Amino acid sequence: MIVYDLQCANGHTFEGWFEDRNAYEHQGKKKLIACPICSDTSVVAVPSTFSIKAGTTSSEKESDRAADRASVEKTLEFLENNFEDVGANFAPEALKMHYDVTEKRNIRGTSTEAEEETLKNEGIKFFKLPIPRLDS
């Protein structure tokens, strides 16, 4: 059993006992939970201190986005420093390396869908990375 602090639309607070969270949600949806004071069925669970802590505030979401962006920028920087930019020649270069025509190295570049298909058929491993626009 779990207990929820509930509040009706008129601001009355009361305790509700439920088998589990699903039971609470089910009964809430079916409007089976009624305020014992005014019988209002628009009842919401009042967040406990715990759930307030667990929830994300809008400012936390902002910093999450910033962190995401920082990691994307780091990845791009790593690619720039460690992978040779072969531009549109990515597929031909990858094939050359595959057949030991050229030395194996890290390359990055762009390829068409047809070229990617060829690489796949040749069993060449590559990964695609969507490069987001980082205009601020």
Instruction: Report the interface residues with Zn ion, using CB under 5 A.
Output: 8, 10, 12, 35, 37-38, 40
- CB-nearer residue toward Zn ion: 35 or 94: 35
Q: Which is nearer to Zn ion, 37 or 101 (CB)?
A: 37
The strand pairing partners of 127, in sequence order, are: none
Cα dihedral: 14, 15, 18, 21 (round 10): 80
Shortest distance, position 4 Cβ to Zn ion, whole Å: 15
Question: Please, which residue, 12 or 98, has the CB nearer to Zn ion?
Answer: 12
Q: Cβ of residue 6: shortest distance to Zn ion, in angstroms?
A: 9
DSSP state of 84: E
Q: What angle do CA 21, 59, 66 make, to 5 degrees?
A: 115
CA atoms within 13 A on the CB side of 116: 8
14 within 8 A of 37, measured Cβ to Cβ: yes
Q: Tell the smallest beta-carbon distance from residue 39 to Zn ion (Å).
A: 7
Matching residue, tokens 């990515």? 90
Residue 7 to residue 28: CA distance in whole angstroms: 12
Pick between residue 35 and residue 91 the one whose CB is nearest to Zn ion: 35
User: Residue 70 Cβ, how far from Zn ion at the closest point, in Å?
Assistant: 48
